[in-house]
């Protein structure tokens, strides 16, 4: 595949290689949903502080949940070519896992002309960054990742599910 053919497949790049916001004006609204997840690996002291409620900044997972919800609503402020989307629902959950990780999960919904994958991914990233922020005085080396889209529904491409890994 030549460079010109590859560039034509990228919806946010015009044929000359310039960035563009995709035109969605002629599309019909449909129900959309995206689900994403991500992880942050912590050291034992930080993990224990979170699970035992000993972080001075407060309930780490509750704070991160709010950060994720707020971030989903602000996605077009962070991602330059992302359309503002009237979200109808954002759900963010966090859980401490036995292997010293915290899992963040987000489901975002709307009835609109474009999908909400970026909003779900942004919600997860912000939640994980919030966890990082609350434990950075305890743990100097938390590691975020992977962060990934799990599912999307709606629109022209229909349903997509990540294959089991």
Structure tokens at 11: 């919806």
**Catalytic residue IDs:** 133
Query: How far is 136 from 120, CA to CA, in rounded Å?
Result: 24
- Using one digit for the tens of pLDDT, what is the confidence trace for 101-114? 999 999 999 999 99
Higher pLDDT, 25 or 53: 53
* 157 contacts 134 by C-beta, under 8 angstroms: no
Domain extents for the chain? 26-156
Question: Which ranges in the chain belong to alpha helices (H)?
Answer: 3-9, 44-51, 60-73, 75-78, 117-135
User: Region 79-106: what's the mean pLDDT?
Assistant: 96
Q: What is the pLDDT of residue 165?
A: 66
Say if pTM beats, i.e. exceeds, 0.85: yes
Structure tokens at 38: 């991500």
Domain 26-156 has CATH 3.40.50.1000: no
């Amino acid at each position: 595949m030549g460079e010109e053919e590859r560039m034509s497949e990228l919806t946010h790049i015009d044929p000359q290689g310039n960035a563009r916001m995709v035109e969605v004006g002629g599309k019909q609204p449909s129900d959309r949903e995206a689900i994403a997840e991500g992880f942050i690996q912590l050291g034992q002291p930080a993990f224990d502080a979170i699970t035992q409620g000993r972080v001075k900044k407060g309930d780490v997972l509750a704070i991160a949940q709010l950060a994720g919800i707020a971030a989903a609503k602000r996605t077009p402020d962070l991602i330059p070519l992302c359309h503002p989307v009237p979200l109808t629902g954002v759900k963010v959950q966090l859980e401490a896992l036995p292997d010293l990780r915290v899992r963040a999960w987000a489901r975002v919904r709307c009835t609109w002309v474009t999908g909400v994958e970026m909003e779900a991914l942004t919600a997860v990233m912000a939640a994980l960054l919030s966890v990082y922020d609350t434990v950075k005085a305890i743990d100097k080396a938390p590691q975020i990742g992977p962060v990934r889209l799990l599912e999307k529904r709606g629109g022209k491409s229909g349903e997509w599910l990540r294959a089991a890994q």
